[in-house]
Amino acid sequence: MFRYQILIEYVGTNFRGWQIQTKGKTIQGLIQERISKLLKEKIILFGAGRLDKGVHALEQSAHFECKKKIENSSKFVKSLNHFLNKEMISIIKIKKRGNDFHARFSARMRIYKYIIINRTSRPVIDENRGWHIINKLDLKVMKKAAKKLVGTKDFSTFRASSCRAKSPIKTMRSVKIKSRNNKIEVEFQSQSFLQQQVRSMVGCLKYVGEKKWSLKKFNFIMNSKKRILCAPPAPPEGLYLARVIY
């Protein structure tokens, strides 16, 4: 058997998420189906992470095994993209990997970005590509709150009730906030994340930026480990899986 890793860019707006479901169109399902047809064998695609409905990817990572060696990887990618591009999916790269490589379990770091469009006017070009917030956000206080998220902590406050992770304890390597032309980018780096963790953290950072919460209240709610106290999670359209590092 031969094992290959693929890097994928996609717009998640019209999908029910990454992972195959009993009903609805998914990114994993569509790519898996196309690879199976091209190679003329049943292929199972394994992703680096499960992304919710409406979430995008700049560089999702996945792998699959096949019986036949792919001799011309460039032609293979072009053939795949011929079908996938019309669905707003693009295979960026394919790499041959050893049998010890696993898209999910071999990952050392995952980088997520969340985009906020902070202006009065509704975005048109960036529609469904970011969270439109009209109220002016205080970046200085948001950055102070973001620093409190860094480190090894119990992130139960930011964990969805349907999350299947064995433990709510995660190590956040960094949280960075930058802004340009009314577009705010919040970047999170960790080996793994809880379900809805990033969107929940962004929702709480928004409350701080709007002065609905003080830094003291943000800290209290984070340390409370009570999901019920969390701010409403940010919508999925602003979230991007930026990169997976191995």
Tokens representing residue 96 in the block: 């041959």
Of the chain, the end-to-end C-alpha distance in Å amounts to: 22
Contact yes or no for 8/90 (Cβ under 8 A): yes
Catalytic residue among 52, 100, 126, 138: 52
CA angle 176, 180, 183 (to 5 degrees): 80
Quick check: is 52 catalytic? yes
| Pairwise CA distance, residues 110 & 173, whole Å | 10
Tokens representing residue 56 in the block: 């995008």
| Pairwise CA distance, residues 124 & 10, whole Å | 19
Contact yes or no for 225/156 (Cβ under 8 A): yes
| Pairwise CA distance, residues 189 & 179, whole Å | 18
Q: Which of 116, 104, 16, 115 is nearest to 60 (CA)?
A: 104
Q: Which residues, other chains included, contact 181 with Cβ-Cβ below 8 Å and sequence gap of 6+? A: none
The secondary structure of the chain in percent helix, strand, coil, rounded to multiples of 5, reads 30, 30, 40
| Pairwise CA distance, residues 155 & 166, whole Å | 12
DSSP 76: H
Q: Which positions are catalytic?
A: 52
